[in-house]
Amino acid sequence: VPKHYETDLESVLIPNGMIRDRIDRLARNILEECTPHSEITLLCVLKGAYLFFSEMISVLMRLNVDRPNPVRIHVEFVRLSSYANDVSTGHVRILGLNLAGLYGKHLLIIEDIVDTGRSAIALLEELRRTEPASVRFASLLLKKSPHWNGFRPDYVGFIIPDAFLVGYALDYNEHFRDLDHLCILNDEAKAKYQVSLTSNPMAALLMSGQAAAVAGVPSSS
Ligand code: PRP
Ligand code: MN
Ligand code: MG
């Protein structure tokens, strides 16, 4: 753990090496179940999934070299955002989804974490506007959250306890994405990097995605 983060962390939950070992395993499972199609489109859910996605695609590329029937891989990206501090606002903003590019494709959604499951369901709903050939969902983490809506990904790296995690691209108000291990944030750090949604109404609006509506601009969705 880098020195500047030491005092902010309760503990390391999953070290980087263990994350990468698990992704190697997941990638093998994914390729085994891919054989009928010769093409797959990985849809990376930004920002939290960028490291999981990049590690996953590196492993898939490496495995493909030795395969008698390699799988062609395409990539797409979408930005989903719904958190303020450590709570889901319940409003999932979806930006930059290339619906036309997903038509008829075998999709594999790449997420870092399923917590309440709201982001996952919102994205799957949005994907119904196009007609993918198939949709599967890989999440590095599935949290045992009391707010879980029951959405179960097809591939899960680790099932984790109900604690707020940062690192390996997961953030707390945009901090800690550059931490290589998955760590539990302590209460002092939560307070230190907290964004006040009452004293900063604009931040609250932006985070909940309602700014455009409030400003009188018609919502794009
Ligand atoms: C986080 C996380 C998942 C989602 C999971 O994203 O990366 O995408 O929330 O939570 P849920 O199951 O309760 O919906 P966030 O909105 O923080 O955006 P980010 O990926 O840019 O950090
Ligand atoms: Mn996310
Ligand atoms: Mg986040």
Query: 144: helix, coil or strand?
Result: coil
Q: Which of 86, 115, 154, 178 is catalytic?
A: 115
Does ligand 1 have an atom closer than 6 angstroms to the CB of 111?
yes
The amino acid occupying position 7 is T
Protein residues with C-beta less than 5 angstroms from the ion ligand 3: 83, 171
Question: How far apart are the C-alpha atoms of 214 and 205, rounded to whole Å?
Answer: 8
* ipTM of the predicted assembly exceeds 0.95: yes
DSSP 154: S
Residue 218 parent element (H or E): none
Domains and CATH numbers, the chain: 16-166 (3.40.50.2020)
Q: How far is the CA of 65 from the centre of ligand 2 (A)?
A: 31
pLDDT at 196: 83
Beta bridge partners of 139: 111, 156
Does ligand 1 have an atom closer than 6 angstroms to the CB of 8?
no
Q: How far is the CA of 110 from the centre of ligand 3 (A)?
A: 15
Q: How far is the CA of 170 from the centre of ligand 2 (A)?
A: 8
Q: Give the length of the chain.
A: 221
pLDDT at 69: 87
pLDDT at 41: 97
pLDDT at 205: 66
Helices (H) and strands (E) in the chain, counts: 7, 9
Does ligand 1 have an atom closer than 6 angstroms to the CB of 113?
yes
Question: Ligand 1 atom closest to Cα of 118?
Answer: 14
Residue of 128, 111, 126, 131 lying closest to 220 (CA atoms) = 126
For ligand 1, atom 6, which residue shows the shortest CA distance? Answer: 81
21 counts as catalytic: no
pLDDT at 38: 86
221 residues of the chain, pLDDT tens digit each: 999 999 999 999 999 999 999 999 999 999 999 876 689 999 999 999 999 999 999 999 999 999 988 999 999 999 999 999 999 999 999 999 999 999 999 999 999 999 999 999 999 999 999 999 999 999 999 999 999 999 999 999 999 999 999 999 999 999 999 999 999 999 999 999 999 877 777 666 666 555 444 444 444 44
pLDDT at 220: 45
Does ligand 1 have an atom closer than 6 angstroms to the CB of 45?
yes
pLDDT at 111: 98
Does ligand 1 have an atom closer than 6 angstroms to the CB of 55?
no
pLDDT at 49: 98
Q: How far is the CA of 95 from the centre of ligand 1 (A)?
A: 13
Question: What is the chain's alpha carbon radius of gyration, rounded to the nearest angstrom?
Answer: 18
The amino acid occupying position 72 is R
Question: Ligand 1 atom closest to Cα of 112?
Answer: 7
Look up residue 68 and give its two tokens. Answer: 């008698």
pLDDT at 118: 98
